[in-house]
Amino acid sequence: MNRVQELITKNFNQYNYEAIDKYVALGGFEGLKKAMAEGPEFVISELRTAALKGRGGAGYPTWKKWSIGYDRVAEQKFVICNADEGEPGTFKDRDLLAKDPYKIIEGMMISGFVFGAQQGFVYIREEYSHIQEMFKKALEIAERNGYLGNNILGSNFNFSIQVFSGAGAYVCGENSSLIESMEGRAGRPRIKPPRIGEKGYLNYPTLVNNVETLAAVTTILGSSGEEFARYGTEGSKGTKVICVSGNVNAPGVFEIPFGTTLREIVYDIAGGVENDNGIKFLQLGGISGPLMPSNFIDTPYSYEDLQAEGFSIGSGSIVVVDDTNSVIDYLVSVSDFFYHESCGKCTPCREGKRQITRLLRNFAEGTATREDINRIEKISTTMKHTSFCGLGQTAPTATLSALKYFLPELWLHVAEKDVQHIVEGEWK
Q: Select from ligand SF4, ligand FMN, none the partner in contact with residue 294, using the beta carbon and a kind-dependent cut-off of 5 to 8 Å.
A: none
Is beta strand 206-210 parallel, antiparallel or unpaired with respect to 291-293? Answer: unpaired
| Among the listed residues 280, 255, 251, the one whose alpha carbon sits nearest the alpha carbon of residue 266 | 251
Closer by beta carbon to ligand FMN, 20 or else 47: 47
Closer by beta carbon to ligand FMN, 190 or else 280: 190
Binding mask 339-378 for ligand SF4 (x = CB under 6 A): ---xxxxx--xx----------------------------
Q: How far is the CB of 31 from ligand FMN (least distance, A)?
A: 17
Residues in a beta bridge with 78: 119, 206
Task: Determine phi and psi for 358, rounding to 5 degrees.
Answer: -65, -45
Q: How far is the CB of 85 from ligand FMN (least distance, A)?
A: 5
Q: Select from ligand SF4, ligand FMN, none the partner in contact with residue 209, using the beta carbon and a kind-dependent cut-off of 5 to 8 Å.
A: ligand FMN
Query: In the bound complex, which residue of the shown chain has the CB atom lying closest to ligand FMN?
Result: 173
CA distance 389 to 127: 24
Closer by beta carbon to ligand FMN, 5 or else 177: 177
Q: Select from ligand SF4, ligand FMN, none the partner in contact with residue 350, using the beta carbon and a kind-dependent cut-off of 5 to 8 Å.
A: ligand SF4
Interface positions, 386-405, toward ligand SF4 (CB under 6 A): 387-389, 391-392
| 301, 330 Cβ separation under 8 angstroms | no
Residues 6 or more apart whose CB falls under 8 angstroms from that of 104 comprise 81, 83, 96, 97, 122, 211, 214, 215, 218
Length of the chain: 428
Residues 6 or more apart whose CB falls under 8 angstroms from that of 159 comprise 109, 112, 113, 117, 118, 119, 120, 148, 149, 152
Closer by beta carbon to ligand SF4, 160 or else 382: 382
Q: Select from ligand FMN, ligand SF4, none the partner in contact with residue 222, using the beta carbon and a kind-dependent cut-off of 5 to 8 Å.
A: none
Residues 6 or more apart whose CB falls under 8 angstroms from that of 254 comprise 4, 241, 242, 243, 244, 265, 269, 270
Q: Select from ligand SF4, ligand FMN, none the partner in contact with residue 300, using the beta carbon and a kind-dependent cut-off of 5 to 8 Å.
A: none
Q: Select from ligand FMN, ligand SF4, none the partner in contact with residue 346, using the beta carbon and a kind-dependent cut-off of 5 to 8 Å.
A: ligand SF4
Q: How far is the CB of 356 from ligand SF4 (least distance, A)?
A: 13
Closer by beta carbon to ligand FMN, 84 or else 322: 84
Q: How far is the CB of 350 from ligand SF4 (least distance, A)?
A: 5
Q: How far is the CB of 417 from ligand FMN (least distance, A)?
A: 39
E strands along 92-237, which residues? 119-124, 160-165, 206-210
Write out the residues near ligand FMN by the rule CB under 6 A. 54-58, 60, 65, 82, 84-87, 171, 173-175, 208-210, 213, 389-391
| 81, 214 Cβ separation under 8 angstroms | yes
Closer by beta carbon to ligand FMN, 85 or else 322: 85
Residues 6 or more apart whose CB falls under 8 angstroms from that of 286 comprise 57, 87, 88, 89, 90, 314, 315, 317
Closer by beta carbon to ligand FMN, 76 or else 393: 393
Closer by beta carbon to ligand SF4, 248 or else 356: 356
Q: How far is the CB of 360 from ligand FMN (least distance, A)?
A: 20
Q: Select from ligand FMN, ligand SF4, none the partner in contact with residue 392, using the beta carbon and a kind-dependent cut-off of 5 to 8 Å.
A: ligand SF4
Closer by beta carbon to ligand SF4, 171 or else 318: 171
Q: Select from ligand SF4, ligand FMN, none the partner in contact with residue 173, using the beta carbon and a kind-dependent cut-off of 5 to 8 Å.
A: ligand FMN
Q: Select from ligand SF4, ligand FMN, none the partner in contact with residue 240, using the beta carbon and a kind-dependent cut-off of 5 to 8 Å.
A: none
Torsion of CA 126, 127, 128, 130, to 10 degrees: 100
DSSP 222-257: HS-HHHHHTSB-SSSBSEEEEEEEESBSS-EEEEEE
DSSP 270: S
Query: In the bound complex, which residue of the shown chain has the CB atom lying closest to ligand SF4?
Result: 392
| Among the listed residues 71, 152, 161, 155, the one whose alpha carbon sits nearest the alpha carbon of residue 116 | 71
One-letter-per-residue 3-state SS of 161-187: EEEEECCCCHHHHCHHHHHHHHCCCCC
From residue 41, alpha-carbon distances to 30, 33, 36, 72 in Å are: 17, 14, 11, 14
Interface positions, 145-174, toward ligand SF4 (CB under 6 A): 171
Closer by beta carbon to ligand SF4, 14 or else 382: 382
| 35, 110 Cβ separation under 8 angstroms | yes
Question: Which residues here bind ligand SF4, judged by CB under 6 A?
Answer: 171, 188-189, 342-346, 349-350, 387-389, 391-392
